[in-house]
Structure 1
Amino acid sequence: MAEVAQNGQAKRASNGAIFGGCAVFVVAMVGMAYASVPLYRLFCQATGYNGTTQRVEQYSDTVINKTVQVTFDANISPGLNWDFKPAHSVTPKIGETVQIEYTATNRSPHATTGTAVFNVTPMEAAVYFNKVQCFCFTEQTLQPGQSVKMPVVFFVDPEMAKAEETRNIKTITLSYSFYPSQPAKPVAALPEGAKAKDTKL
């Protein structure tokens, strides 16, 4: 009997270890799923992969006597009834800081929210395209008929003119695409005088 009891305890311990291992695995997978998007974004911003531009906190301190044409593209995903217009193309000197504006208008009869993603072509130039200010990855909520101007401040790194694969690039295109998103819902406030119930664990 003692041997049977020992076997039972060993089996329960083994099952507990397997269950614990599975639980840790599931938690790790969920954590990785949540982390994958920001980690991928950081990877793209660091490498210029997939046409992702660089985000910087300061303006360029070097301007060279060579220009590059920068054109702009604007796209709207189905499900977002907006009019989205790009800025006119510009031809700055490489290293010169430039500000342009996109314009978005809500054509629907109710408030809607969108989030913009972007890329740069040719992709080889993305790592040298530095944005100081932009509206990407930020929810924009527009009221019915409302129009807003969305500034982008950028410069092209002078190093682009030195690199073998980019020194002959004459035109860069910055493209934004807006997708519908749901704004965060406010937390309901308790009625005046009401007290939150204590929750016992």
Structure 2
Amino acid sequence: MTTATLDRKNARTAMFAILGALAMLGLGYASVPLYNLFCRVTGFGGTTQRASESDADVAARLAQSAGGQTISVRFDASVARDMPWTFRPSQPTDTVQIGIRDMTTYVARNDSDVPITGTATYNVEPAQAGRYFNKIQCFCFTEQTLQPGQEVHMPVLYYVDPAALDDPNMKGVEQITLSYTFHRAKDASAN
């Protein structure tokens, strides 16, 4: 084997290694949005669904055929360690009719002496209920800024999809827990 042939093989191997490394880097950057998309579509890990008003209207029509079945929804709230807010649900539980829109509120108060911007992460337990828990409006869709000492009531408009009644994995589920955790917004670290 000549030196020129060996150099070409080494250059080709190096090119494949660089392309492989770039592909892995690209997959690394794409993994979070792809995982989020997967969770939203499947409800994996208790990820709730985002619904429109028209989706809720369809669900309400389907609920009529569900015979008025109800389910208990428990509301949970917490804050990250570095978040100087008090955060709680207005009520700990509610019994809702499957397929019918309902609303709850959470109360947040900034206990610090500076404005704080926060963002809420959420999930639903049991995990298989995530694909059937649909939020129409939620404070978790946008960042929230509270002034020092400010207290706000933040609504969540939601419904439980009647399709949950046909899912064998939902048999025996009597309560769904909607849980939120408030964190400082990433761009608000100077606060």
TM-score band, normalised by shorter chain: 0.7 to 0.9
1:41 aligned to which of 33, 36, 41: 36
1:124 aligned to which of 120, 128, 143: 128
CA distance in 2, matches of 1:144, 1:46: 38
Mapping of residues 83-122 of structure 1, within 5 Å: 83-88=86-91, 89-122=93-126
Match of 1:78 in 2: 81
Match of 2:70 in 1: 67
CA distance in 1, matches of 2:41, 2:125: 16
SS at match of 1:168: coil
CA distance in 2, matches of 1:116, 1:127: 19
Match of 2:16 in 1: 21
Higher RCO, Cα 8 Å, sep 6+: 2
CA distance in 2, matches of 1:120, 1:87: 18
CA distance in 2, matches of 1:54, 1:111: 31
SS at match of 2:183: strand
Alpha-carbon spacing, 1:14–1:123, altered in 2? closer, same or farther (3 Å): same
1:180 equivalent in alignment to 2:184: yes
Count of residue pairs the alignment pairs up: 180
- Alignment TM-score, normalising by the size of structure 2: 0.81
**Greater Cα shift, 82-91 or 69-78:** 82-91
Contact 2:70/2:96, CA 8 A, preserved across alignment? yes
Alpha-carbon spacing, 1:15–1:143, altered in 2? closer, same or farther (3 Å): farther
Letter in 2 for 1:16: A
Letter in 2 for 1:146: Q
SS at match of 1:90: strand
- Alignment TM-score, normalising by the size of structure 1: 0.78
CA shift, 1:137, in A, is: 5.7
SS at match of 1:62: helix
CA shift, 1:105, in A, is: 1.6
Bigger helix fraction: 2
CA shift, 1:168, in A, is: 3.0
Deviations 1:104-123 (A, max 9, x none): 22111222222211111122
**Greater Cα shift, 108-117 or 88-97:** 108-117
Contact 1:139/1:183, CA 8 A, preserved across alignment? no
SS at match of 1:165: helix
Letter in 2 for 1:81: P
Q: Percent identity?
A: 42
Bigger strand fraction: 2
